[in-house]
Amino acid sequence: MIAATILALVAAAGTAVGAPTVGVPTAEAGRALISTLGESATAGLYVDEAGSFVIPVTTDAAAASVTEAGFVAKKVEHSTAKLNSIKALLDETASNKFVGSAWHVDPVSNRVVISIDESLAKSPSLENLRSAAAAYDGAIKFEFVNGTFESYAAAISGGTAIYSSSGRCSLGFNVRAGSTYYFLTAGHCGSVGTVFYSSSSLSSANRLGAITRRSFPGSDYAIVQYDSATTGLTSVGTVGSQDITTIGSAVVGQSVSRRGSTTGIRTGSVTALGASVTYSQGTVSGLIRTTVCAEPGDSGGSLYSGTTALGLTSGGSGNCQVGGTTYYQPANVVANLIGASAY
């Protein structure tokens, strides 16, 4: 197993300007301020090691506004508009072509980071990817990751095991739309109509429900409607003993927990939003990237922070012995498709 190393190290441009002086900044307020200032004057939002909300900016005027609002402003070279345009080009030209690669906009380093797994690192096609990225030298950096990128379905409350004829995955979150109950899991765990059970025996007495809506690749989610006979027994609005009261958005730097049926509860932090990763089945985009480990069977499991649901385990590289990088389908995007909420 190779150690995680950086192929191209580029220092983040600029230094912090000012410090919070007013009120108590929140992620929601930060996103609202960024929306007002615009993507050409800002470059994301993240939580630094001191626990402060940082908004990278490209202009002095934006820095002044950020500081006045109580956030930490950091002057950088590349705007969100520029970095997102580079990532969008990669999504358009490199998706499904470079199995073993992933890319995301990193607000901390102010770069688009392209991650290379061990399979692609040994492939001649890596040079083709390098060539495609060469035109953006200075705005892109490469890194190696342990293992290979794969979805985490196994060959046979949130985070508990669910079974189908295809194997074992994990339940993400229980949600409700009106009087109808559902649970969310990963799209690669089955297709529309796939039936899930609470036991590997797949007996009718353990039937939970069937997938009514699903996407994979592209996205990675499945919406399972509970059978009316099992709703009262199975639909608990928790992840293990952790009560889940809302479905929200992740923030870079945020501390998070993941629960899955193979490795239980693991912790780490969010490193990127809107990430793309190319599995052997195709490219999935719009994902949350974290430092939390996961293994086969954890697919679909819960990513959360306190009482807030954040994501559904999609896949990643490495394992819980050596560590890894994992990706998650944002839960709020999926819940919004059916107008569902936590309970």
Q: Would you please indicate which residues are annotated as catalytic (active-site) residues?
A: 188, 220, 299
Task: Look up residue 243 and give its amino acid.
Answer: D
C-alpha to C-alpha distance for 343 and 333, rounded to whole angstroms: 17
C-alpha to C-alpha distance for 280 and 98, rounded to whole angstroms: 9
Partner residues linked to 316 by β-bridges: 150, 326
C-alpha to C-alpha distance for 276 and 49, rounded to whole angstroms: 25
Query: 102 to each of 6, 114, 169, how far by Cα in Å?
Result: 14, 6, 23
- Crossing angle for the helix pair 125-133 and 80-94, to the nearest 10 degrees: 150
C-alpha to C-alpha distance for 274 and 249, rounded to whole angstroms: 11
C-alpha to C-alpha distance for 141 and 132, rounded to whole angstroms: 12
User: For the purposes of burial, counting CB atoms within 10 Å of the CB of 151, is it exposed (0-12), middle (13-18) or buried (19 or more)?
Assistant: buried
Residue 142: name the closest of 175, 120, 174 by CA.
120
Outline where the chain has alpha helix (H).
Answer: 27-37, 60-68, 80-94, 118-121, 125-133, 231-234, 331-337
